[in-house]
């Protein structure tokens, strides 16, 4: 119990895609970008919208709304999440900023992407799903 409460005292970048709010550890959130027209990738799943070049790196863009709820949310903004294995862009229709998150970090589901979303948690009176970036990366890698 104590460990989960301590973990939620980290700083997170809080953003929304559609009606859902997400929190990603601030140390992984490199920047918020407006991305250009994307290049679609053959054979990619529907939640992988395409790629764009950013500072010499090819960045895949993941539609969080399609990934989590199956419903697309058109936006041209994304949060760049930088991991040692690579960078991915998570679509964001709104960005609330960096804040702390209160709550627990239990998986919100037993399988699929929900296994890598943690909660129940709240930030600035919003319900947020805390993203486990490494787990999400693994999930997306297997799904593509």
Chain residues in the site for another protein (CB under 8 A): 39-44, 48, 51-53, 55-60, 82, 85-88, 137, 140-142, 144
Contacts of 97 (CB under 8 A, 6+ apart): 13, 14
When the beta carbons of 50 and 107 are compared against another protein, the nearer one is: 50
CA dist list (Å): 70 to 48, 84, 102, 122: 12, 28, 27, 23
Contact 25, 109 (CB under 8 A): no
When the beta carbons of 21 and 137 are compared against another protein, the nearer one is: 137
Q: CB 31 → another protein: shortest distance, Å? A: 13
When the beta carbons of 56 and 70 are compared against another protein, the nearer one is: 56
C-alpha 50: how far from chain center: 16
Q: CB 51 → another protein: shortest distance, Å? A: 6
């Amino acid at each position: 119990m104590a460990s989960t409460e301590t973990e939620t005292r980290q700083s997170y970048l809080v953003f929304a895609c559609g009606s859902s709010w997400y929190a990603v550890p601030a140390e992984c959130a490199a920047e918020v970008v407006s991305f250009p027209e994307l290049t679609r990738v053959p054979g990619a799943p529907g939640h992988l919208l395409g790629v764009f070049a950013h500072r010499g790196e090819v960045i895949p863009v993941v539609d969080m709304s399609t990934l989590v709820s199956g419903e697309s949310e058109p936006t041209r903004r994304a949060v760049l999440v930088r991991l040692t294995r690579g960078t991915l862009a998570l679509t964001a229709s709104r960005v609330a900023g960096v804040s702390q998150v209160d709550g627990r970090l239990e998986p919100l589901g037993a399988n699929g992407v929900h296994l890598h979303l943690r909660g129940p948690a709240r930030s600035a009176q919003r319900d947020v799903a805390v993203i486990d970036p490494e787990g999400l990366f693994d999930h997306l890698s297997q799904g593509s």
